[in-house]
Structure 1
Amino acid sequence: MQWITLVVLALTASSNALIRFQCSQLVTQRLDPLVNPGLIPSTHVHQIVGGDSFNASMAPTKDMPGESSCTTCQFSEDFSNYWTAVLYFKARNGTYKRVPQLANSGFSGAAGGGMTVYYMQDPLYDTAQKSKVTAFKPGFRMFIGDIQARSLADAARFRQLTYTCLDTFGSRDGESMAFPNRVCKEGIMASLRFPTCWDGKNLDSPDHMSHMSYPETGTFESAGPCPASHPVRTSQVMFEVIWDTKNFNNKADWPTDGSHPFVWSFGDATGYANHADYVFGWKDDSLQNILDTSCYAASCGGKQQSIAEMNKCSQKEIVKEDIDSWLDELPGGFQASYARTPSAKFRR
């Protein structure tokens, strides 16, 4: 209770920052220190951005700023790691090809496309950002999504994981929880929004989710209150990942039944199993200092680096395998699946 009291007192400071920044690609390979800690290789391919101390075993005591020599993120004191699964195209002949990524608007040139990261105190459309939030603490980590979801009912718990079919590069309307079932002229954007209510005690939990919660009623966008079990409001961490599907827009290459041809690297062909991982690694109080200012996106002070400097940071693959050629099966032996897969495939 003392820890929660101290956090609540800290939240009385004025803060109205909305942080939006790009991270270039760090590495793409089969490693996952949350779901498969220490396992080399992990079950499926991920694309990772952030600090270069990322590895297969990241204990909560790990000093990410101290052990990192660089970060692929625009804020040079952010040595956090952010990662998602990788999208593949499945051709009519059953072979798979990795879908490349695009940098978001305003971040052209980011190596590998990477992802855009947000820390929001209020909904993205609310530039006032009046809510009081606290930054995460060293050792904090979380996971969101259900990697075995194959239906809307399975995914209903994670309604803030969505896709946008980009008819234009600036499209932001028409979100869905399943893969878009039509040609998306400029690509598919995956949006992944983490919970915003913390229990105030645990930096992690066995499922990497239970220490966090969405609002008790309503949503983050409707400013719903946090439940009593998770009373500490944090900023909402959000990823935007743009998949460059333009080279796969010829419907003559799609399945003969007219369904969409995309599949996640762990075999989900529905899109309902979208998920993301986050390990906090900002240096000292740099994130809280930014959250305590009045700023928006790139005006949010802090120490920032150019895209060229971000791109200099990279990491060599530990897992040596082909993930980019036309493949007969997905790395790890997966095939496209429209049904729930055996839980043993995903060890926690």
Structure 2
Amino acid sequence: MIRRSVHLHTLLAGVLAVVLAAALSVTLTAQTAWAAALVVQAESYAAQSGAGVEATADTDGGQNVAYLADGDWLRFDTVDLGAAGPVTASARIASATGGPGTVELRSGSLTGPLLATFPIAPTGGWQTWATRTADITTHPTGPQTLFAVIRSATPGDFVNINWFSFDNGGGSGGPAPGWVGIDQAAWNTQLAQFRAMTPATVPAGTVRVPEFNATCTYSHSKPDDPIVAPGLPGASHMHSFFGNKSTDAFTTPQSLSANPGTSCTPAKDLSAYWIPTLYQDGRAVESDGVIVYYGSRLPDPSATVPFPQGFRMIAGNAKSQVPTPAGSANQFFCAGEGGEIGRSADGNWPICAPTAKLVHQLLFPDCWDGKHLDSPDHKSHVAFAHNGTCSGDHPVAIPSVSFVIGYPTSGSATGLSLSSGMASSIHGDFFNAWDNAALGHRVKDCIVQSAKCNSAGTF
């Protein structure tokens, strides 16, 4: 068994050079005061006209309302938007055509007071999902009847809807955190300090790749998830945690910063990272090292900014239970001499040579909306860069985070399993608690200047 993370660097060096180069070319179209959003699933309507329901490929699974056209509508009863005051409304939509058209939210009746309007543009397909937001300035208080009315000047289906969410910023602890806004003053201060940093001189001969990393060893396991199920210990499948040693169901930005114990190098990275636990023949196989790479896949990374304190996001889909044979985008692979020598009986897992080991690389989005630390599905506040840029609803370039996870096993013919299910359910969580100065200097020196740095943040 390889027990030191430095050995993981040595074993994977050649393989990771290929894997990370390929990643650069990827084009991808309770104890805490959480801001809890009310989420209304589209298929939970009390009445409708013109609506169909289908299984959704969106990250939360379940169903969506499908193929809506001009004049179609959905009615939702006893929807309480909370106390008087502004509300941020969101619609999770997909569209192959874009209409053009809109989705209107009205109170009381089909022609009642207009609360919000969501313009619909093409998202890339009927199951390519995007989140649209709109501000509700005033609304009735108490339970009300809410109508979603579909408008278009042209005939034909043009929009699918998965859910609506409503956030007045005044929620309290609960299992489904919603749109969590940034502290604008603190973020402005962090940005100003970052922009004032003088970049270090890049020595001659430095590899010009925008990258630095944190090298982490396994810390502990718990059936907790402070992003998906905050304040609810035992509510999740088993997770293996890296980084901050205090991470549990009650983790907050404040608790991470207050607990300096970490299994990562550098010590100033107090972030929490976690993945589902891997099992072989019913026995947990804990990773012997995770390298968390921070980089950029953008042609011009110079506009990249650090993460704000408390930023969090998820990559992958814990609910995905589909075959992942060799060659699939989400596959586990073998690193080391001899590489892969076979597949498990079900084809989902590689069998590695005795001199190799099981590895997975998990890639996170690299564009941010600039407004929220989290979103209802923990993904809608971020997106993957499109055509080499961050634009539209996610205009802010953030470091591209990638977990490279090594396991001290060669696999077996009988296969492996994750605590979340099949190999396709692999996912990872990132909860930022870097020291602002340490993170800022690495982004400024390594990513903005396109220079390869080590875990110490030096060239």
Go from structure 1 to structure 2 and tell me whether the alpha carbon gap of 1:181 and 1:145 turns closer, same or farther (over 3 Å shift). Answer: closer
Of the candidates 363, 370, 385, which is equivalent to residue 200 of structure 1?
A: 370
Go from structure 1 to structure 2 and tell me whether the alpha carbon gap of 1:152 and 1:10 turns closer, same or farther (over 3 Å shift). Answer: farther
CA shift, 1:17, in A, is 4.6
Q: Counterparts of 1:94-243 in structure 2 under 5 Å?
A: 96-101=282-287, 113-122=288-297, 130-151=301-322, 161-166=330-335, 168=337, 180-185=348-353, 186-217=356-387, 224-243=388-407
**Aligned equivalents of 1:18, 1:179: Cα separation in 2:** 34
**Aligned equivalents of 1:68, 1:28: Cα separation in 2:** 17
Go from structure 1 to structure 2 and tell me whether the alpha carbon gap of 1:9 and 1:285 turns closer, same or farther (over 3 Å shift). Answer: closer
1:263 has 2:417 as partner: yes
**Aligned equivalents of 1:115, 1:275: Cα separation in 2:** 14
CA shift, 1:236, in A, is 0.6
Go from structure 1 to structure 2 and tell me whether the alpha carbon gap of 1:68 and 1:179 turns closer, same or farther (over 3 Å shift). Answer: farther
CA shift, 1:165, in A, is 2.4
- Structure 1 unaligned regions, length at least 5: 91-95, 102-112, 173-177, 218-223, 255-260, 303-348
CA shift, 1:27, in A, is 0.8
* Letter aligned with residue 386 of structure 2: E
Is contact 2:333–2:350 with CA below 8 Å preserved after alignment?
no
- Partner residue, 1:64: 256
1:22 has 2:215 as partner: yes
Go from structure 1 to structure 2 and tell me whether the alpha carbon gap of 1:43 and 1:53 turns closer, same or farther (over 3 Å shift). Answer: closer
Q: Counterparts of 1:281-296 in structure 2 under 5 Å?
A: 281-294=433-446, 295-296=451-452
* Letter aligned with residue 364 of structure 2: F
Percent identical among aligned pairs is 26
CA shift, 1:26, in A, is 1.6
Go from structure 1 to structure 2 and tell me whether the alpha carbon gap of 1:21 and 1:5 turns closer, same or farther (over 3 Å shift). Answer: closer
**Aligned equivalents of 1:299, 1:56: Cα separation in 2:** 28
Go from structure 1 to structure 2 and tell me whether the alpha carbon gap of 1:162 and 1:234 turns closer, same or farther (over 3 Å shift). Answer: farther
**Aligned equivalents of 2:457, 2:336: Cα separation in 1:** 33
Larger Rg: 2
- Give the secondary-structure state (helix, strand or coil) at the position aligned to 1:183: strand
Go from structure 1 to structure 2 and tell me whether the alpha carbon gap of 1:17 and 1:76 turns closer, same or farther (over 3 Å shift). Answer: farther
Go from structure 1 to structure 2 and tell me whether the alpha carbon gap of 1:230 and 1:133 turns closer, same or farther (over 3 Å shift). Answer: same
Structure having the larger proportion of residues in strand: 2
- Partner residue, 1:105: none
CA shift, 1:168, in A, is 2.5
- Give the secondary-structure state (helix, strand or coil) at the position aligned to 2:373: coil
Alignment TM-score, normalising by the size of structure 1? 0.63
Alignment TM-score, normalising by the size of structure 2? 0.48
Is contact 1:121–1:131 with CA below 8 Å preserved after alignment?
no
- Partner residue, 2:85: none
Go from structure 1 to structure 2 and tell me whether the alpha carbon gap of 1:97 and 1:5 turns closer, same or farther (over 3 Å shift). Answer: closer
Is contact 2:212–2:457 with CA below 8 Å preserved after alignment?
no
- Partner residue, 2:429: 277
- Structure 2 unaligned regions, length at least 5: 1-183, 201-208, 341-345
Could you list the per-position Cα deviations for residues 65-120 of structure 1 after superposition, in whole angstroms to 9, with x for gaps in the alignment? 2x113211111111000110011124xxxxx222242xxxxxxxxxxx13111110
Go from structure 1 to structure 2 and tell me whether the alpha carbon gap of 1:300 and 1:69 turns closer, same or farther (over 3 Å shift). Answer: closer
- Partner residue, 2:82: none
Q: CA RMSD in A?
A: 3.4
CA shift, 1:44, in A, is 1.2
Go from structure 1 to structure 2 and tell me whether the alpha carbon gap of 1:162 and 1:8 turns closer, same or farther (over 3 Å shift). Answer: farther
CA shift, 1:18, in A, is 1.2
Of the candidates 245, 266, 269, which is equivalent to residue 409 of structure 2?
A: 245
* Letter aligned with residue 297 of structure 1: C
Could you list the per-position Cα deviations for residues 250-279 of structure 1 after superposition, in whole angstroms to 9, with x for gaps in the alignment? x4xx2xxxxxx111112x22x111110010
Go from structure 1 to structure 2 and tell me whether the alpha carbon gap of 1:131 and 1:164 turns closer, same or farther (over 3 Å shift). Answer: farther
Q: Which has the higher contact order (CA 8 A, sep 6+)?
A: 1
Matched residue count:
250
**Aligned equivalents of 1:33, 1:5: Cα separation in 2:** 26
Q: Counterparts of 1:303-342 in structure 2 under 5 Å?
A: none
1:86 has 2:250 as partner: no
Is contact 1:8–1:232 with CA below 8 Å preserved after alignment?
no
